[in-house]
Amino acid sequence: MRDFVWMVVNDGGDPGPVEEIVATVSGELEVNLRHHPVSLGMEAASNAGIAACQSKYLVIHDDDDSWQPTFLERTAGFLDSPAGERFGGVVTQSVLVKEKIHNGVCEFVSKHDFNRWMQVVYLVDMAKSNSFPPISFLFRRSVYDEVGGFNENLPVLGDWDFNLRFLLEHDIHVIEELLANYHHRVEQTSTYGNSVLQGDRSHKSYDAMVRNRLLREDLRQNKTGLGVLVNLVKEYEGFDSIASWQNFKRVLSRTRFGWVARYL
């Protein structure tokens, strides 16, 4: 598939190597390059790139991730089809690829299925944790505009926050094929490192911030909404047995949050 725009956002990095890479394909693909002299962060960089192009569909391609050759053909083809009309986006299953940088060279370590189990995308599951990486998710620009884009105040977990807001309004279809590769750089503390592996403590902090913010919004509006859901499912991690979890659901079912218990 060649009907796409490659919007490259260099977020505070050295322009030279980026321009060299872009030059190798500029005669074959439609490429737009944007340099940020100072890093604005992952979510701001994504928003800036999206604002600088006009494509119907969008996908965030981190520079260390990759696709199988048919990814765009299969995902865009689905959204273009009659079956895809009722979905706001489409996600494929992913392979987790572990690598390390040795003497400036990226070396393969291992790979295995990341989410081969994923057949459907439930909002209640997304409320627990993110279930797919950005590289595997193609979505409609119209929905991106509807939900307000990526939250630039989140240096991590911006994709999870976006997916929650996305699923609050639209469904996501799953193509049960391993068409996306989610690359992790192991034992890295440099700029090569994957944000998930380098920022575990930061992820926990911002996980709490996202859940707290959503719950405050519900409490201020006196409603049972997304904030209640993401915090109730978080409690699942605190139960040490199926019996205690089932008891929690029975108690919950007797409250005004009983509708949530049916989905847990």
Both tokens assigned to 90: 């489409």
Whether residue 88 is found in the same domain as residue 60: yes
Percent of the chain with pLDDT over 70: 83
Would you place residue 260 in the very low, low, confident or very high pLDDT band (cuts 50, 70, 90)?
low
Residues 6 or more apart whose CB falls under 8 angstroms from that of 82 comprise: none
Residues 235 and 191 grouped into a single domain: no
My answer on whether 62 and 159 are in the same domain is yes
Mean pLDDT of 108-123: 95
> How many separate domains does the chain show?
2
Short-list 66, 144, 146, 58, CA closest to 108: 66
CB 105 within 8 Å of CB 111: no
Other beta carbons within 10 Å of 108 = 10
In this structure, the answer to whether residues 172 and 249 fall within a common structural domain is no
Whether residue 242 sits in one domain with residue 138: no
Same-domain status, 112 and 214: no
Mean pLDDT of 190-215: 74
The share of the chain scoring above pLDDT 90, in percent, equals: 69
Q: Does position 197 have pLDDT exceeding 50, yes or no?
A: no
Whether 49 is in a domain gets the answer no
| pLDDT at residue number 174 | 99
DSSP 129: S
Distance CA 93, CA 255 (A): 37
Q: Which domain holds residue 79?
A: 56-198
Per-residue pLDDT at 226 exceeds 80: yes
pLDDT at 203 over 70: yes
Higher-confidence residue: 253 or 94? Answer: 94
Q: Cα 219 from chain centroid?
A: 27
Is residue 36 in some structural domain? no
Name the domain boundary from 198, 223, 245: 198
Note whether residue 151 is domain-resident. Answer: yes
Comparison of pLDDT for 30 and 258, the residue scoring more: 30
Residue 3 has pLDDT above 70, yes or no: yes
Could you tell me if residue 108 is inside a domain? yes
Q: What is the pLDDT of residues 11-28, one digit of tens each?
A: 999 999 999 999 999 888
The three-state secondary structure class of 110 is: strand
Q: Is residue 5 part of a domain?
A: no
Tens of pLDDT, residues 80-100: 999 999 999 999 999 999 999
pLDDT of residue 10: 97
On whether residue 48 sits in a domain, the answer given is: no
Distance CA 252, CA 178 (A): 38
SS3 231: helix
Transcribe 56-105 into DSSP letters.
SEE----TT-EE-TTHHHHHHHHHHSGGGTTEEEEEEEEEEEEEEEETTE
Between 103 and 258, the higher pLDDT residue: 103
Query: Residue 66: inside a domain, yes or no?
Result: yes
CATH code of the domain covering residue 136: 3.90.550.10
